[in-house]
Structure 1
């Protein structure tokens, strides 16, 4: 009896130990899973921080730091459910790094990693994503091989953008959705030309600058290839420009799924290319040296000089006043019935134009004088082709919170606050996500733009407007100078600001905005700011 009791006791202890061991193993597995998930989230945070910081994206080690965090997870725990996600993300980062670096090694590294995802994790949901990413990257490789000028690494910024293809990837899936290229528009003057390629839906595109080839009588040219696209029936295949910079623009169906737009060049200094959304279009800004374009403008201008040499040749400054929205674009709706931003903006802009002519004796050009619709890129193009000295866009603000009120003035720059992104999204008639996407390329677009001068102009207008209104009204709030990526300010070659005059959604300010006297007082404040800016700029020059 005693022996059987001892045997039972041993078996009981053995069973308990097995249960404890099994529970410990289970806890370790759970702990590993949680750890892998946490490490993925940490690596993902590194990636999102990098996407938000344009300056950090310029340095390779910042990309490799985030890539390593993803790689550590799937290399150390390859069987973990989060391993496939980490492996895919490391490939994605290498692909995005390639867009920054133009290194073929980065592209091939991304392809190898995506192939690893397909081989190691065939049942993972990332298999299809990896296959799609490989197709996109390998398509770019094959096109580069077909080109006469091979892909070259670009580690330094030159006067001309090197003859390497750069891909602008769309965030939308375009498989099965063919994009139709619907039109080509352009505006030009002796030193600047803006070309806009219109499409009916978003798509990715590449561009390449080719050197002049006298042996086959080919001028210098730039081509843009729009992927997964067909040429619309009404698009002009040949558009003559014949200004000092460009000869013409040609469009054709390069392959069954690629539309190629070619710009034949006479002489350019630099170019910038970017896309806008809702509707989707590709904008190409080309600039030429003033001396090459036949200008007799003197050289040697200093950074503190506000008016450029080409602008200084005019006897009196030209200010372009842009009433926001118009036509079928009503802008924001007011707190009061039948009060719309497009109408208020036109009224204020008209009063401002009259005061500029009368009190400052400057030339004024309004982008619209009636209730008509203009695209946002057209408004800036008008100012650029007229060699305007200042560009002032007039708007009214809006908020879901009807108690929000005040005046604020914007300049083109990276938005740092959610409220700034929201305002830019509304005025651009797009989503906050599209604004975030635009911010990733804004640094390149903003090069050689008058950021400091625009900020100075904005500060004078904001301060003068607030003080003038405060002396005549109660409950006037100074919301300060802010920055955001407004489409209407992109590519402006002069100091440019956007004034959110007051909140049309606020009961008190909507009533004031509808009042002729308030509009007059508001314009008086803006005039004082413009006068102060011009006086200071003349002293600086």
Structure 2
């Protein structure tokens, strides 16, 4: 009898030990309602719309005590039901009124999935679907092994448009997503490696969450894709960055400041950084500086060949998104949207495919270099 009881206890242990603890809360603002799902660790999920709300489907068991659902008489959210399923847990959000997703994003420490909801104007084409997020349960990888996971980070997204064109409706967030998805397809089909996207649709992700996503997924390479802009209309060409506390030049410093504050973040000033911040940066990136430089050089050389634009070179700057990446990490500025000639190029899908091909080839060369080094 004792043996039977012990076996039953062991069988039940995984269910309780690995169950997520999730809390739900909402806040009303003047023009939207924020609904937050907070968990004690990261999780994979998908979202599907319903006539009177939406379902948030988690791919694992989760538990939410009634007192941890705090809606505060929300004007949008009527209730949130927790529905256990054999393949996970569904959080069914029931709303008082038809709503649409104004934006959706993920935050870290603690892990939170955030939905900003607003009243639906009645135009069905305006209703946006939040993106599905890949599972954050990547297997641990030993240090010094072959590369098997690459993180592609399309810059900006959601309400953060990034750079804007001078004569058309082109915006940076759309260009970077197109290029990022093309790079993903090339890596998966030609190298057979796993690709993590920080976003795969028009969603807003904080700079810290982008790096955290790459770290959580055990990625071994991080490539952030951007489009440049300058008050000097003649500025043109491509440039690739890896991280440093000091910028290569004044333009690099200004670019880092602009990117670091694009989503309300703080601009990093090395002169004002305290010892703790310098230590944290040193722990996260210093050991990868040489490999980041190598990765940046491979990508920059390839872009120079396929794009036939001015080579602005490999540079360094204190980009926030790179500082928190615990792996070789670079940021690519593919062309200037503020330049009328390059604006026309960036509007062409064929040109974006060539850009993606150049980034892919540079990554492939780095993968070969890295894998041979750690044979």
Normalised-by-shorter TM-score class: 0.5 to 0.7
Separation of aligned partners in 2, 1:322 and 1:187: 25
**Is 2:362 aligned against 1:524?**
no
| CA 1:388–1:478: 2 relative to 1, 3 Å | same
Identify the residue that residue 198 of structure 2 maps to in structure 1: 367
Partner of 1:481: 314
Q: Does 1:498 align with 2:331?
A: yes
SS at 1:434 equivalent:
coil
Equivalent residue, structure 1, for 2:247? 415
Cα deviation, 1:6-48, whole Å, max 9, x if unaligned, reads xxxxxxxxxxxxxxxxxxxxxxxxxxxxxxxxxxxxxxxxxxx
Aligned equivalent of 1:400? 231
State which of 431, 447, 459 in structure 1 corresponds to 2:282. 447
Q: Structure 2 matches for 1:530-541, cutoff 5 A?
A: 530-541=363-374
How far did residue 486 of structure 1 move? 1.2
Report the Cα offset of residue 310 of structure 1.
Answer: 4.4
Q: Deviations over 1:374-433 (max 9, x none)?
A: 111001110000000111111000100111001001111121421111101111126999
Report the alpha carbon displacement of residue 478 of structure 1 after superposing the two structures with TM.
0.8
With structure 2 as the length reference, what TM-score do the two structures score? 0.59
Change (3 A) 1:389 1:421: same
Checking the alignment, whether the CA contact within 8 Å between 1:321 and 1:367 is kept in structure 2 is yes
SS in structure 2 at match of 1:365? strand
Whose helix fraction is larger, Structure 1's or Structure 2's? 1
* Pair 1:457-2:290 in alignment: no
In 1, Cα distance between equivalents of 2:40 and 2:232: 40
1:473 corresponding residue in structure 2 = none
Rate the CA distance shift 1:358–1:517 in 2: closer, same or farther, 3 A. Answer: same
Question: How big is the shift at 1:443?
Answer: 3.5
Greater strand share, structure number: 2
Q: Secondary structure at the match of 1:335?
A: coil
Alpha-carbon distance in structure 1 between the residues aligned to 2:226 and 2:348: 15
Normalising to structure 1: TM-score of the pair? 0.42
Could you tell me how far 1:502 is from its partner in structure 2? 0.6
Task: For residues 323-373 of structure 1, give each alpha carbon's deviation from its aligned partner in whole angstroms, at most 9, with x where no partner exists.
Answer: 111001001111232110011111111111111111222111111111111
Find the structure with the greater CA-based Rg: 1
CA RMSD of aligned residues (A): 3.2
Structure 2 CA distance for partners of 1:439 and 1:403, relative to 1, 3 Å: farther
Q: CA distance change for structure 1 residues 330 and 536 in 2, over 3 Å: closer, same or farther?
A: same
**Residues 196 and 217, structure 2, Cα contact 8 Å, conserved in 1:** no
Shift of 1:487: 1.5
> Given the superposition, is the C-alpha separation of residues 433 and 523 from structure 1 closer, same or farther in structure 2, using an over 3 Å criterion?
closer
Cα distance change, pair 282–438 in 1 and its aligned pair in 2 (3 A): farther
Alpha carbons of structure 1 residues 512 and 386: separation in structure 2 relative to 1, 3 Å: same
Q: Identify if the C-alpha distance between structure 1 residues 282 and 344 changes in structure 2 by more than 3 Å, giving closer, same or farther.
A: closer
Corresponding residue for 1:259? none
Partners of 1:349 and 1:434 lie apart in 2 by 25
Gaps of 5+ in 1: 1-182, 190-232, 235-280, 285-295, 298-307, 471-475
Alignment correspondent of 2:102: none
* Cα distance in 2 between the residues matched to 1:492 and 1:332: 24
Aligned twin of 1:339:
170
Q: Give 3-state SS (helix, strand or coil) of 1:447's partner.
A: helix
Tell which has more relative contact order, 1 or 2 (C-alpha 8 A, sep 6+): 2
Counterpart secondary structure, 2:267: helix
